[in-house]
Structure 1
Amino acid sequence: MRSRLIFLHAPAVPFLINTWVSGNVAQSLLNTTTWRWGFGIPAIIDPFTTALVFVPLLLGVLRAKRQGHLDHIPTTPQLLSSPKNWLELLIKVDFIGLVLIASSLALILVPLTLGGGNAAKWRTAPVLAPLIVGATVTLPSFIIWEAKFAKHPMLPKKLLRNRHILCGLAIALFSIASSSTQGSYLYFTLVVAFGKSVEAATRVRNITSFVSTIIGIAVGFAVRHFRYLKPFIIAGAVLYIVAFGLLIRYRGGHSVSDFAGLVGGEVVLGVANALIQYPATTALQAVVQHDNMAIVTAMFNACFQVGAAIGSAMAGGIWTNLMPRKLQAGLERAGIAGAEKLALSVYGNPIKFIAQYKVGTPERNAVDGAYRDVQRYICIAGICIAVVLFGFTFGLDNPRLGDEQSNADAEKSDSDDKSIDEKAKVKA
């Protein structure tokens, strides 16, 4: 267990290269072709990179089949050949629970992102109706289904009563929700409010992952020596708050100090991620038996993805509701003719605007101010989430990470200890 944190960082190692290469790739694409190839290139590369995972798995299956280890296991066509097997599969994967939670997240998060703009669409029925249905129907239905009716709930009820596990899942959700708020529109803030090139903006946008990977590997070796995780996680939560303090202060400007302040905030945020996200995963794995390790890991990753969606939705809601108004108000204060039309143009295509209006022009100054103002609100939302995250870190236990695969005493409740004592007394 004490070495697990080191190996959890193995899939993140490519960030050490991608952070610096991605800026050059993005700039070259825009210089020679259109942004659509930004989606086309991964579609070509992914089949080759995933083959590095798929081929070893396939070879492992063929090897096990030759050795007779799979003789008692039915094949996929056999499993899906009858309605009974289909029903059993749907029950075991908790299909109804998956549909309810997916529907809840879609109905709640998508309207938060799409609503807003000049027309304040979030006040209209097409946006309000999904929000109400998601919050009052599908989400409560999911909770009731998982608590009362699911034969194979997503997380066993015994684990849901464990404070350490619940706090760990909350840390997964709130850490990425906080981080996602500031990162959702950081690229456009860098290009517009800081006046950076596509190459520089792309690199700074990814620098958090770069720092997180380097520091995370170092933390992994430190944990292997110290064997405890909770102090690192609490320190990471503190650094989240510090990072957002810097990002609120340095949210725009064309001076070297303004840009350095932003980069400093992103670096601190990367250190905070290294101290929280993978250590929190290891902390969850340390308190369960090996049989439940995959379950808690999957739940952690699920909460992580949900948190990312929540953070992006919050940032999207703030952006779509405030940016058009801030742009128009700033342009009107600067005395720019046709402020409303220009504000809509900037909101729809900021890259085109900065190509036409250089730094120092009245129009650019007004737009820069609007971007700084909106980014401030987004970072305030992020620091509020970070404060909640800080509170949950104190709910974690602090298990000692040993040399074995899992803790032999994991998942043992107080009642289990009492029953063991009673049996010992009876034998005595």
Structure 2
Amino acid sequence: MMLNTSDYLYTILIVAFNESIKSVTRITSLYSFVSVLTGVFISITVRFVAFGLLIRCRGGADCSAHNGIIGAQVLLGIAGGLFPATKHKHVAVVTGLYLASYLIGSALGNCISGAIWTQVLPGELESRLAPFGNATATTAVYGNPFGYVAEWAMDTPERQAVVQAYRHTQRLLCVTDICLCMPLICFALVLRNPKLGKEQSLPDAEKYVEGHGPVGGEQRKWYQKIL
């Protein structure tokens, strides 16, 4: 699960960074663009380096050859991890599992990031804009941030107060994102690897369709067979 801080990045870049619309559009597209290229190019680069080590370390009993072959195998493993691949017949299943996990995580991330944004930012704006004596400034900034930044230059005290409020909110979003990712990584490392057989389905699977499934003890045996 990852907080969708990118959903608010467009607003943050305009309000807190004073970026132009053209610049904001390019910056918000960088993640998708680079993430696609990185896996391919880095994987290919690491793979060439690994094979270079294998060519150089073709044998020998000295320490350099030993370390070289170990390093080459490690780099090949990294390259394999960066370049995800699976058998053609498993592509649909792997893609479905990935998209399902991604969408569920995105939904949860949207809930959390939305709660932080709506609960933290208005209070920060109110407290930081209070010294300027404008009771409606908070509502104006939160409701129409693009209209506000068009009226107040970046070097004005009012704009800097808004920038600090956005900076504080963005910091909380990023810290929360990191904290939520760490447990998921730990859970992934301790998951039990399921044992999958070579058969595509159980031999008697077609017998247990709707209305004709096993009952009682037979049902327990059938579930144990599946598990």
TM-score bracket, shorter-length normalisation: 0.5 to 0.7
Give 1:364 shift: 0.6
Structure 2 CA distance for aligned equivalents of residues 210 and 186 of structure 1: 16
Distance 1:397 1:215, change over 3 A: farther
1:366 is matched with: 161
1:214 is matched with: 37
Structure 2 CA distance for aligned equivalents of residues 355 and 217 of structure 1: 41
Structure 1 CA distance for aligned equivalents of residues 47 and 79 of structure 2: 10
Give 1:188 shift: 0.9
Give 1:293 shift: 4.4
Give 1:360 shift: 1.7
- Is the 8 Å Cα contact of residues 13 and 19 (structure 2) preserved in structure 1? yes
Structure 1 CA distance for aligned equivalents of residues 156 and 162 of structure 2: 10
2:113 is aligned with 1:315 = yes
2:175 is matched with: 380
Gaps of 5+ in 1: 1-173, 233-274, 399-409, 414-428
1:357 is matched with: 152
Matching residue's letter, 2:197: K
The aligned runs of 1:335-350 (5 Å cut-off) are: 335-339=131-135, 341-350=136-145
Matching residue's letter, 1:187: Y
Aligned match of 2:18 in 195, 210, 215?
Answer: 195
Structure 2 CA distance for aligned equivalents of residues 220 and 188 of structure 1: 34
| CA distances 1:75-104 after superposition (whole Å, capped 9, x unpaired) | xxxxxxxxxxxxxxxxxxxxxxxxxxxxxx
Give 1:296 shift: 3.4
2:7 is aligned with 1:184 = yes
2:207 is matched with: none
- Is the 8 Å Cα contact of residues 328 and 343 (structure 1) preserved in structure 2? yes
Matching residue's letter, 1:336: F
Distance 1:365 1:203, change over 3 A: same
- Is the 8 Å Cα contact of residues 336 and 363 (structure 1) preserved in structure 2? yes
Distance 1:299 1:293, change over 3 A: same
1:411 is matched with: 196
- Is the 8 Å Cα contact of residues 15 and 145 (structure 2) preserved in structure 1? yes
Give 1:200 shift: 1.0
The aligned runs of 1:18-417 (5 Å cut-off) are: 174=1, 177-178=2-3, 180=4, 182-221=5-44, 222=46, 228=77, 232=81, 275=82, 279=84, 282=85, 285=86, 290=89, 293-332=91-130, 335-339=131-135, 341-392=136-187, 394-395=189-190, 411-412=196-197
Matching residue's letter, 2:141: V
Query: What TM-score do the two structures reach when normalised by structure 1?
Result: 0.36
- Is the 8 Å Cα contact of residues 230 and 396 (structure 1) preserved in structure 2? no
Structure 2 CA distance for aligned equivalents of residues 227 and 395 of structure 1: 24
- Is the 8 Å Cα contact of residues 43 and 79 (structure 2) preserved in structure 1? no
2:69 is matched with: none
Matched position secondary structure for 1:196: coil
Distance 1:373 1:231, change over 3 A: farther
- Is the 8 Å Cα contact of residues 192 and 354 (structure 1) preserved in structure 2? yes
Gaps of 5+ in 2: 52-74, 199-227
Matching residue's letter, 1:386: C
Structure 1 CA distance for aligned equivalents of residues 183 and 77 of structure 2: 23
Considering only aligned residues, what root-mean-square deviation do their CA atoms show, in Å?
3.0
Distance 1:396 1:206, change over 3 A: farther
Structure 1 CA distance for aligned equivalents of residues 178 and 124 of structure 2: 22
Give 1:317 shift: 0.9
Matched position secondary structure for 2:132: coil
| CA distances 1:124-178 after superposition (whole Å, capped 9, x unpaired) | xxxxxxxxxxxxxxxxxxxxxxxxxxxxxxxxxxxxxxxxxxxxxxxxxx3xx24
